[in-house]
Structure 1
Amino acid sequence: MTFPVETSRRLAIAALLAPLASTARAQAPAFPTRPITLVVSFPAGGSSDVTARILAEGMARDLGQPVVVENRPGGATVIGAMAVAQAAKDGYTLLFASTSALTTNPHLYQNLPYKVSDFQPVSMVAVAPWIIAVSPTVPARTLREFVDYARQRPGQLNYHSYGPGTGAHLFAAMVLAATGIEAEAIVYRGEAPALTALSTGEIQMMPANISGALIEQHKAGRIRIIAIADAARSPVAPDVPTFAEQGFAGVEASSWFGIAAPSGTPAPVVTRLQRAVAAALAMPDIRARIEGIGFSAQASSPEALGKIIDEHSRLWGGVIQRLGIRLQL
């Protein structure tokens, strides 16, 4: 068989270039070759920040490069999320993603400067169930007793919130609707002042994500955790029954935390990052430290995290719609 001259020339050039291309691929540096920045949209020192720093330590061990936590709080997690949405699509800038950034903010803010599609899910990291705690000044020791106590005092009880549309506000609305009780929100700037207000009776109810600080206060008798919004009791607070156990089936809610990259990050990089998260959460010391906070450590595939984002978006979007909340940044 003979080929036209031009075709023969092209085949000869391709044959010469093939070994060079193969060599280039073999010599391409493996990701990562420099430090990775993990952006946390919360202030330093809180449970979310501590979890991110523990994870970063484990990821760095697996990746062989530092994973540096950078706190960018403010704007209801919008500042941190925007920094990552606008970052280079190379896997070197990641978001410690959360329920607020990717599932509630899109429903709350009319002028949100980013879209969920601006992010590529990488992996779940942890889940933190919501709980209800009451003041020791309240004579109720179970959820049923607290509901009876509250129904006898319409308009007299308060609960803590960090402002309209925040997780505490939304979960409180879910609980009030399920139990038929009434309570007014008082805004506090952080968990510490809210805990003080609960322990002294300034507020009677506190919706919060389970955390080490809350569990310590509960064990010391300074507050009383009376229900957890999960399918099963928490191993770090086994004495606290679920809502369903106390006759309020359907009250299940949690906050999730995960890793997301800018949309358009190459698939091999996303795969390598997901493997690093899974490897970190499989390290006994890393897992134990995260679960010691009260969170459940859970790695996942990018696809599974995408489904969780969608599911939580439907759940909290429905609550936000019922409350009629629309905010401006």
Structure 2
Amino acid sequence: MSISLSRRALLAMLGAAALAPAYGQDPYPNKPVTIVVPFAVGGSTDLVARLIGDQLGAALGQPAIVTNRTGGGGVVGWSNVARAQPDGYTLLTTEMSFAIAPGLVSNLPFDAKKDFTHITTAVQVPHVLVVNPKVPAKTVQELIALAKEKPGQLFYGSGGNGTNTHLAAELFKDSAGDLDIVHVPYKGAGAVLADLMGGQVQMLITSLPTALPHIQSGKLRALMIASDKRSPALPDVPSAPEVGLPRMDIKFWIGFAAPAGTPQAAIDKLNQSIIATLRLPASQERLGQMGLETIGNTPAEATQLVDQEMSRWADVVKQRGIKVD
């Protein structure tokens, strides 16, 4: 009798031990997820992060909290996530500046290729070349001819040295035959718009959502969609290949990443959940209103895109001799 009881007790103990991990380890996620935006509230990256974050909580079963960690042109936010625990609870919004930085800043406090695992590219949108309506150029070719006729007399604005608006314009100058158009850096692409519409600078290449309202109001003239195809938002504006500048396929993209070493199961769960969020009718409608195209690719595809962008912009920085302040 005592032997039987002992065996039962032993079996019960072994059963409890076997079940303990299942009850002791809650499935991912079991607490809120933080999404770090390295830029200020209200920008394109912040708006997309908040739009997705609002819906992502339902897909994950836990809140997704967006926090802005600004400074250093993105370096503060990027560094914060690079140092975070690789447990799937701290995410980073990535975009063009993240891919530009390694070729531009020699002493980044992290390794942009090794310290992050990419989850997905969420959205993309083309850039657009716009000019002040008083500029006597109705086409890109006329603008190129004008720049050659008046070297050093035309000015383009950018959101600052090393930004996407700066590098895009330098790529345009190079692609069009090393044009002499003078760079005027501002603190943010939004700051350029007032002077562009006022005529202090004549040209800007920026993401489509930034310029679209001013194009539609007639305050700016769009000469080219910097993409391999036309945009439904501006169907009458030619694409880069149509004007003979195929290198000017420049898409502003926003993605999500996590610290390197994050478990693959968490990366896969996040990938599936973000894609599900992107496919919601409400998300599609809002992103469409912003002029954004949804992507939702795999982690491998997102990684390939970032690697290609890093290589591309490093070449532009080197070829054009671009330096940061």
Above 0.5 in TM-score? yes
Residue 113 of structure 1: how far off its partner (Å): 0.2
Distance across 2 between alignment mates of 1:207 and 1:268: 40
- In the alignment, is the contact (CA less than 8 A) between 1:123 and 1:274 conserved in 2? yes
- 1:98 maps onto 2:57 in alignment: no
- 1:114 maps onto 2:114 in alignment: no
- 1:28 maps onto 2:22 in alignment: no
Residue 248 of structure 1: how far off its partner (Å): 2.1
Identity %: 33
Residue 107 of structure 1: how far off its partner (Å): 1.2
Distance across 2 between alignment mates of 1:91 and 1:276: 13
Distance across 2 between alignment mates of 1:214 and 1:147: 21
- In the alignment, is the contact (CA less than 8 A) between 1:110 and 1:326 conserved in 2? no
Q: Secondary structure at the match of 1:79?
A: helix
- In the alignment, is the contact (CA less than 8 A) between 2:158 and 2:189 conserved in 1? no
Distance across 1 between alignment mates of 2:119 and 2:208: 24
Q: Secondary structure at the match of 1:313?
A: helix
Residue 33 of structure 1: how far off its partner (Å): 1.7
Deviations 1:307-327 (A, max 9, x none): 001111111111011123354
What letter is aligned with 2:153?
Q
What letter is aligned with 1:113?
P
* CA gap 1:247/1:327 in 2 versus in 1, 3 angstroms: closer
Distance across 1 between alignment mates of 2:246 and 2:92: 34
- 1:124 maps onto 2:124 in alignment: no
Give the aligned partner of residue 74 of structure 1: 71
1:61 pairs with 58, 61, 71, which one? 58
Distance across 2 between alignment mates of 1:277 and 1:100: 21
- In the alignment, is the contact (CA less than 8 A) between 2:127 and 2:226 conserved in 1? yes
Give the aligned partner of residue 248 of structure 1: 245
Residue 257 of structure 1: how far off its partner (Å): 1.2
* CA gap 1:297/1:14 in 2 versus in 1, 3 angstroms: farther
The total of aligned residue pairs comes to: 314
Q: Secondary structure at the match of 1:29?
A: coil
Q: Which consecutive residues of structure 2, in runs of 5 or more, have no partner in the other structure?
A: 1-9
Deviations 1:192-214 (A, max 9, x none): 32111111111100011111x41
Q: Which consecutive residues of structure 1, in runs of 5 or more, have no partner in the other structure?
A: 1-12
Q: How does 1:171-182 map to 2 (within 5 A)?
A: 171-180=168-177, 181-182=179-180
- 1:161 maps onto 2:155 in alignment: no
The two structures have a TM-score, normalised by structure 2, of 0.91
Deviations 1:38-60 (A, max 9, x none): 00011111122111111111211
Distance across 2 between alignment mates of 1:15 and 1:228: 70
- In the alignment, is the contact (CA less than 8 A) between 2:165 and 2:189 conserved in 1? no
- In the alignment, is the contact (CA less than 8 A) between 1:37 and 1:92 conserved in 2? yes
